[in-house]
Amino acid sequence: MDKTKNLSGEDNSLQTLVTLEDLAEKKTKIYSRLLMDVALAKEMETLSMRHQKRRQALEKLLYGEPKTKKGDKEE
């Protein structure tokens, strides 16, 4: 069953936030791999992990438990 269908207004807002956090996580992860400055690359990896945790927290609010994605790190 697709959990993104038939969402209320609040749920729709949470789903939008989940999507934005997911995109921010992906973008910072890519930057962490492309940057030549090692310190900046590590900061981007840290930022990516923060976005991942926020996404998981939002999914827990929305679905009751975070959806696991390939590559998600365990806490």
Q: Per the domain annotation, does 1 fall within a domain?
A: no
Rounded Cα distance between 20 and 51, Å, is: 9
Q: Per the domain annotation, does 6 fall within a domain?
A: no
Look up the pTM and report it. 0.73
Range of the domain at 15: 11-63
Q: Which residue has the tokens 């956090």?
A: 21
Give me the number of domains the chain comprises. 1
pLDDT tens for 19-53 read: 999 999 999 999 999 999 999 999 999 999 999 99
Q: What is the pLDDT of residue 10?
A: 80
Q: Per the domain annotation, does 5 fall within a domain?
A: no
Q: What is the pLDDT of residue 7?
A: 60
* Contact assessment for residue 52 and residue 28, using Cβ atoms and an 8 Å cutoff: no
Q: Per the domain annotation, does 36 fall within a domain?
A: yes
